[in-house]
Amino acid sequence: MENLRLKKSLERIFNIANINFNGNNPWDIQVHNNNFYQKVLAQGSLGFGESYMDGWWDCEKIDELIYRIFNSELINKFNRRGILWDILKAKVLNLQNKKRSKKVAEEHYDLSPKLYESFLDPYNQYTCGYFKDTNNLNKAQEQKLDLICKKLKLSSKDKVLDIGCGWGGFAKFASEKYGCHVTGISISDEQIKYAKEYCKGFPIEIIKSDYRDFNGKFDKILICGMIEHVGPKNYSVIMKKVHRFLKDDGLFLLHTIGKNESSSLTDPWIDKYIFPNGRLPSVKQIGDVIEKNFVLEDWHNFGTDYDKTLMAWNNNFNKNWKNLKKDYDEKFKRIWNYYLLSCAGGFRARNTQLWQIVLSKKGVKGGYNSIR
């Protein structure tokens, strides 16, 4: 009787988004364990994700399920236990200080490069592709890299700094195609090791360093998919660092996921299992630190392309799972499917955005020509 009551309570909530339990729609939830109802009612989105990890439910199209949850604002009706503590913790603690910032590198980016190679493009781009006039992931990622280079107006004379350089994809592309010298920094041991080998033979220097400890002077600076790990308490710090690193006539491009409203919180499941201590910036949060340091030259939103990127990654991940399953179990597979597909649904619902922002220190003489 108790399970039936809980089921009906949760059904009323999910019916707001036209989501049924054990229904026939591809976005309906097929429940395998009746403990699912209590866990989701008690723990909200954290319990929802964890119950999927544990095989308590399945769904033919998780991306469509999550899209409907966000599009109907059903997510706001979840009872998120501990939310007051989460808010207090985010306000009081610097969750992205030097010590805590290492957690995401150790738990996520230091996973085997073989995992990332299984679903990324040849340049190992773990950020949104640019799907202009194409549906091909590899081409979209090359277009994204070229778009960055063109927006930065790269030339062979430039010294470029890539803060959060990943596996060296941008550094190699920029050096290979534009002839510039690139310095990449990261705090991930696996990324540093991989990038040094991947970029061998090019005028590229890969350094293990926290941005707070780094020094230098550069013509152009890129932060691509890294500021999401910096946190609101450190936005001013990193912007002042970039301002110090950048030559007076230089350009700085910030490529970041963004959210529609300012908040100190993030999704508890993503925070626990994928990106510990990650926080997405809002327009206001970025604007507050831009106005004290830079002139805004261009702001480009192509967040809908992240939906396509994530779906392509998920397709590649499952296509190549046979090469990964000896190293990872079925629970790991469920975690990554849920992560990739739920994020795709969030971008599809326009709950999250993707911004490329071009900044200068004193304004580009004669004006900046936007590139799309």
Q: Contact, 102 vs 118, CB < 8 A?
A: no
Distance of CA 159 to the CA centre of its chain: 26
Distance of CA 20 to the CA centre of its chain: 30
Query: Which of 59, 128, 224, 343 does the annotation list as catalytic?
Result: 343
Q: Which residue has the tokens 């280079």?
A: 149
Tokens of 323: 């090469």
Q: What are phi and psi of 247, to 5 degrees?
A: -65, 155
Q: Contact, 179 vs 149, CB < 8 A?
A: no
Strands (E) in the chain, as ranges, are 30-31, 57-58, 159-163, 181-186, 204-208, 218-224, 246-259, 295-301, 352-360
Tell me the C-alpha distance between 296 and 317, whole Å. Answer: 38
Q: Contact, 163 vs 187, CB < 8 A?
A: no
Tokens of 335: 């975690």
343 assigned to active site: yes
Tell me the C-alpha distance between 267 and 249, whole Å. Answer: 39
Tell me the C-alpha distance between 173 and 208, whole Å. Answer: 20
Tell me the C-alpha distance between 281 and 230, whole Å. Answer: 9
> Catalytic positions, please?
343
